[in-house]
Structure 1
């Protein structure tokens, strides 16, 4: 969800990826339900292991943001380029104890929390101005070309 939202809000200024320690097989339908059809590029969304971003050909990142303390820096792999690490804690809408109506409400709540957090992030002085143009590195394009496509529920 955070990847899609940052692409919507400032994708022209950031190269955005998302990954985790135990990726799901597909994007959760309640995540897709929160995103805006025709605005969110669902074709690029795919659950990925963060190990895809640790190899020689992985894109170099400036910042890694964990959306839960359980995947914070002490638990994360080493990413090339030694990016800064930040933790933005959000409730887990997939927690086992939630009823389906609670889960739906929590997905919506987390969606808006992520929107607010990202809005502040992209307006931070460090990121508020457009970046200087930089050449596209071959390693980045090769890494992206190797990413799998996903079956996104519609």
Structure 2
């Protein structure tokens, strides 16, 4: 196995979609990747429906917290290999400088937070967001990244965001 690749999953609030992405990459990546999540305007805590869903699936969420993307920019920050933006509003924002010029892509997924009027409707929205994120993560993990140059990696990651169900 090669060097562990670092992945940063970004969204505005860092409470729902980016948290789902972080946990899925860490769990399904089987040690090949180390994922982190952050937001441009973090809510300060992960959405309880996201944590409930992930816990119910048997995933470790003990390390998940809502944090600013500023933690991952500047001196001393973890160097990212990939930056994946999972919401439309963060995709339009000016991102900080990421050391190492990581490959970036946009994987738009509708926000499940507050999508329903009842708890069960909200849980259903989180299940759908999880399904969409899992399909993208599995496609990402299946790529022969070590055999691809940077341009090919970027194109492949963008294609994942554009072609899979639920792309924004």
| Common fold: TM-score over 0.5 | yes
Give 2:133's match in structure 1, choosing from 109, 114, 117.
114
Secondary structure of the 1:64 match is: strand
Deviation at 1:109, TM superposition (A): 0.2
Between the aligned partners of 2:92 and 2:103, the Cα distance in structure 1 is: 9
Higher relative contact order (Cα pairs below 8 Å, separated by 6+ residues): 1
Contact 1:8 1:39 in 2 (8 A): no
CA pair 20-11 structure 1, distance change in 2 beyond 3 A? farther
**Bigger strand fraction:** 2
- Aligned residue in 1 for 2:112: 93
Secondary structure of the 1:32 match is: helix
- Aligned residue in 1 for 2:6: none
Superposed CA RMSD = 2.0
* Structure 2: runs of 5 or more not aligned: 1-19, 148-168
Report the count of equivalent residues: 127
Between the aligned partners of 1:62 and 1:118, the Cα distance in structure 2 is: 15
- Aligned residue in 2 for 1:32: 51
CA pair 6-79 structure 1, distance change in 2 beyond 3 A? same
CA pair 82-103 structure 1, distance change in 2 beyond 3 A? same
Deviation at 1:11, TM superposition (A): 4.1
- Aligned residue in 2 for 1:132: none
Please identify runs of 4+ aligned residues in structure 1 that moved more than 4 A: none
Within a 5 Å distance, the mapping from 1:57-76 to structure 2 comes to 57-72=76-91, 74-76=93-95
Deviation at 1:21, TM superposition (A): 0.7
Structure label with greater radius of gyration? 1
